[in-house]
Amino acid sequence: MQLFRFANPDLLYLLLILPVLAAIFIINEARKRKAVRKIGDEALVKKLLPELSRIRPVIKFILQLTAVAAMIILLARPQFGSKLEEVRKEGVEVIIALDVSNSMLAQDIQPDRLTRAKQALTRLIDNLENDKIGLVVFAGDAYTQIPITTDYISAKMFLSAIGPEMVPKQGTAIGSAINLGMRSFSPGEGRSKAMIIITDGENHEDDPVAAAEEAAKAGIVIHTIGIGSAQGVPVPVTAGGGRDYLKDNEGNTVITKLDEDILRKISAAAGGSYVRAGSSSIGLDEVYDEIRKMKKQDLESTMYTEYNDQFRIFAAVALFLLLLEFIIMERKNRKLANIRLFRIKM
C-alpha cells in the first residue's frame, strides 16, 4: 500500500479563497442583471444585443475557479510514497510509574508534588529520540495510561490529563504498579527494560520490595524517585468551594511524609538507583543518564523513504482548463452561430 501525502500541506488553506471568489462572482453577476433591467425589458435587450450570453461567463468562471484549485493543489505538491524501508533504531524501553494518590497534591514541592513530576516528565519526553516509553499511574491500584510507544506527542497529551480523580481507589500500591509495569514491556528476551517510579513512598497496600525482586529476575531495572519532605505536610483539598486539608476517619488532619527507606529498598532489589527530588530538580535527568548506559536494543519501524511528486497531472489539468476558458468567448459569435456548443435557451 502506498502512502499519500502533501509536501506543503499548509498551502491547501489557499483553497478557502475559492468560495470567496465564487461569492464575488455571484454578486457581480447580480449587479449586471440589475443594470440590464434598468435599460429596459430583458426580452427587448436580448433582441437588441443578440450576442449577449448569460451562460458563457458562468462557464468561463467555473473553468477559472477549477484551474485555480488545481494550481493550489499543484503547489501543495501531492506525493505517493514509493519505497518501503525497515529502519532500525537503537533504544531502550522505559515504563514510568507515577503516583497519583491524594498525597501527591501536597505542596512541599511547588506548585505541588504531582504537577512538578508531570512538568519534569514532559521535559524528559521532549528530549527522547529512539527510546520507547510507557506510563502507569497508581494509587490504591495501578492502571496503564500509555502503552509502550514512541508516539511522544500522544504521551504528552495523556500525561497532561493525569490527576488523582482518574484512580477510583485511593492509597499507594507501589507493588501493583511494579507488577503492571512488568507486563507492559514488549515481549521477548534480551531487551533493555527499565522502570522509573515517582512517588512519595507511602506504601499502604502491598509488598513492593518482593515485586521489585521479581522484576529483577525478569531483567528489569527499577529506579525510584522520592518526591516530598520527610518532615511531612498536610494534603490540601477543595471542599464546598473552599480550601481545607485532608482528614482521616477520626477527623484528624492527614500528614504525608516521604518514605525514603522503602524506595531505597525497591531500587536496591532491582539493581537501580534512588534519587530524592528537590525544589530545583526532580531527578529524572540523573536517572535517565543511568538508563542511557544500558545496552541498546534494535527497535524496528517501517517508513516510506522515497516520495514521487504527482503534481504534473494537476499542472496539465490547470493548463487545459485555462486554454479552454481562453477559447470560449463571453459573447456569441455571429459567424459561429450555427455551431452551438451550449444549447441552453436564454
Per-residue pLDDT at 224 exceeds 90: yes
Per-residue pLDDT at 6 exceeds 80: yes
Pairing of β 93-99 and β 78-91 = unpaired
Give Dmax (Cα) for the chain: 104
Please give the residue that has the higher pLDDT: either 121 or 42: 121
Kindly state the average pLDDT of the residues 180-203.
Answer: 85
State the architecture of 93-295 in CATH terms.
Answer: 3-Layer(aba) Sandwich (3.40)
Kindly state the average pLDDT of the residues 160-189.
Answer: 87
The whole-number pLDDT of residue 329 equals 75
Give the whole-number percent of the chain exceeding pLDDT 90. Answer: 39
Per-residue pLDDT at 161 exceeds 60: yes
Please give the residue that has the higher pLDDT: either 78 or 301: 78
Give the whole-number percent of the chain exceeding pLDDT 70. Answer: 82
Per-residue pLDDT at 73 exceeds 50: yes
> Strands, DSSP E only, in the chain?
4-6, 78-91, 93-99, 132-138, 142-149, 193-199, 220-226, 233-234, 236-239, 242-245, 255-256, 274-276, 297-309
pLDDT-derived band at 344 (thresholds 50, 70, 90) equals very low
Kindly state the average pLDDT of the residues 115-139.
Answer: 91
Per-residue HEC secondary structure of 116-182 comes to HHHHHHHHHHHCCCCCEEEEEEECCCEEEEEEEECCHHHHHHHHHCCCHHHCCCCCCCHHHHHHHHH
The whole-number pLDDT of residue 342 equals 47
The whole-number pLDDT of residue 204 equals 66
Weakest-pLDDT range from 3-7, 38-42, 66-70: 38-42
The values of phi and psi at residue 118, to 5°, are -65, -40
The values of phi and psi at residue 146, to 5°, are -135, 115
Every domain of the chain with CATH number 3.40.50.410 lies at 93-295
Per-residue pLDDT at 270 exceeds 80: yes
Weakest-pLDDT range from 15-29, 188-202, 331-345: 331-345
The whole-number pLDDT of residue 172 equals 84
Per-residue pLDDT at 170 exceeds 90: no
CA distances for 51 relative to 39, 54, 76, 278, angstroms: 17, 10, 41, 86
The whole-number pLDDT of residue 346 equals 43
Cell numbers for 102, please give them. 491524594
Kindly state the average pLDDT of the residues 256-263.
Answer: 92
